[in-house]
């Protein structure tokens, strides 16, 4: 095994110990890192991304049970905030449109979405409030 691949595997192993990653994410990360390390060590610049970059993963798989993966940065969050998306010059609406999500889809993980829905049902805000005496 060449040196670049070993270095890439060490980096990916460290990243995988911090967060859960799919097999697809692991293999693509190892490949990209190995190529990047090799090109840097040989003194050649990595290929510049001229075209609009492809998504890090399938947008349908980005919203998970305990996390949501930002398709711009590749980082995992519980909630994709306006502040985070602003770093990429986007609003939540533009993000949804770019990646093909429904306009009213909340940019939160499934677990948090369920908790919020349950809390709202318990509060019963649609029922008329009666004054307690």
d(CA 37, CA 5): 9
- Token duo for residue 22: 């799919």
**Containing H/E element for 130?**
none
Exposed, middle or buried by CB within 10 Å (0-12, 13-18, 19+), for 68?
buried
Angle value at C-alpha 109, between 24 and 121, nearest 5 degrees: 155
**Whole-structure pTM over 0.85, yes or no?**
no
Per-residue pLDDT of the chain (133 residues; tens, 9 = 90+): 478 778 888 888 888 888 787 888 888 888 888 888 878 877 765 554 434 566 678 888 899 999 999 998 888 999 999 999 999 999 999 999 999 999 999 999 999 999 999 999 999 888 877 766 6
**Looking at the domain covering 56-124, what would its CATH class be?**
mainly alpha
All CATH 1.10.10.1550 domain ranges in the chain, comma separated = 56-124
| Other beta carbons within 10 Å of 59 | 15
């Amino acid at each position: 095994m060449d040196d670049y691949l070993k270095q890439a595997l060490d980096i990916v192993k460290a990243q995988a110990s911090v967060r859960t990653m799919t097999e697809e994410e692991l293999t693509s990360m190892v490949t990209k890192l190995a190529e990047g390390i090799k090109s840097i060590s040989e003194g050649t610049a990595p290929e510049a991304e001229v075209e609009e970059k492809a998504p890090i993963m399938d947008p349908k798989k980005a919203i998970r049970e305990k996390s949501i993966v930002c398709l711009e940065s590749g980082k995992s969050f519980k909630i994709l905030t306006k502040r985070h998306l602003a770093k990429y010059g986007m609003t939540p609406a533009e993000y949804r449109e770019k990646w093909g999500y429904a306009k009213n889809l909340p940019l939160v993980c499934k677990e948090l979405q369920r908790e919020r829905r349950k809390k709202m049902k318990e509060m019963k805000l649609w029922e008329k409030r009666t004054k307690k005496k």
